């Protein structure tokens, strides 16, 4: 008699994985250093925030292509490898999160414990302070829209969603975190990539190199 196949409950497996408990916006200009296989240069990217997971480990977070990733977990042979952090104020190279950020996150996670429940609830929402933008296209990049990320919303299951302003739903200004005019970028079918403000501004101004990079991404996403 054939052996009965093992049945794995992936929902339970996901619940057993460490998840993000708390975020701390990066306010001191620390950047992630990374390399890729197409160049010998070392590149930098502004760190959005620091996160503490349920197993206690802490890392910086950056918007990377179409998701928010932990810096030290970045190991993409086509797009980048984490090399360290740089304090832009001092020029110091770091290979661990700064101790004062670690202490703050651990104390914050103890002070604001995550409530586990089946219903999704907002655990925290932080503003985007590095000029992140989202790129939307519904026609394979024959046309596209670039929109600023307003904030990042952490839910009680550890997921972090980028939030943009739905201009038609704005009832008062300024728009604050938690406002009901905010929508989740990742839930839009026409969302493709995140860019920081320097690249986004070049795309807006139709810079040839930036548009060529956009075309390259579009080709690989189709």
> Sorting pLDDT into bands at 50, 70 and 90, what band is 27?
very high
pLDDT 10s digits, 133-177: 999 988 877 788 899 999 999 999 999 999 999 999 999 999 999
CA distance 162 to 120: 16
| Pairing assessment for the beta strands 133-136 and 93-94 based on DSSP bridges | unpaired
* pLDDT given for residue 15 in this prediction: 56
Task: Tokens for 35, please give them.
Answer: 């390399």
Judge whether 34 and 83 are in contact, CB under 8 Å: yes
Judge whether 45 and 21 are in contact, CB under 8 Å: no
Query: How many Å from the N-terminal Cα to the C-terminal Cα in the chain?
Result: 45
Closest by Cα among 179, 181, 66 to 133: 66
Angle at 70 between CA 16 and CA 108, to 5 degrees: 70
pLDDT 10s digits, 39-60: 889 999 999 999 999 999 999 9
Angle at which helices 197-204 and 208-221 cross, to 10°: 100
pLDDT 10s digits, 76-107: 776 789 999 999 999 999 999 999 999 999 99
* pLDDT given for residue 194 in this prediction: 93
- Tell me the pLDDT of the chain averaged across its residues: 87
């Amino acid at each position: 008699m054939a052996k009965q196949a093992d049945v794995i409950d992936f929902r339970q497996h996901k619940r057993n994985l460490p998840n993000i408990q708390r975020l701390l916006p990066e306010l001191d200009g620390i950047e992630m250093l990374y390399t890729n296989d197409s160049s010998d240069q070392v590149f930098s990217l502004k760190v959005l925030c620091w996160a503490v997971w349920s197993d206690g480990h802490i890392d910086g977070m950056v918007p990377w292509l179409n998701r928010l990733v932990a810096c030290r977990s970045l190991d993409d042979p086509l797009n980048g490898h984490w090399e360290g952090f740089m304090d832009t104020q001092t020029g110091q190279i770091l290979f661990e999160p700064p101790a004062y950020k670690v202490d703050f996150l651990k104390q914050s996670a103890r002070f604001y414990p995550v409530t586990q429940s089946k219903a999704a609830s907002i655990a925290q929402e932080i503003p985007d302070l590095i000029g992140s933008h989202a790129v939307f296209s519904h026609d394979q990049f024959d046309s596209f829209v670039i929109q600023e990320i307003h904030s990042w919303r952490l839910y009680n299951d550890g997921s972090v969603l980028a939030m943009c302003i739905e201009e038609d739903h704005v009832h008062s200004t300024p728009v604050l975190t938690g406002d009901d005019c905010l929508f989740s970028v990742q839930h839009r079918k026409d969302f493709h990539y995140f860019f920081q403000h320097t690249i986004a501004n070049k795309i807006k101004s139709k810079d040839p190199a930036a548009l060529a990079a956009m075309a390259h991404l579009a080709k690989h996403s189709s």
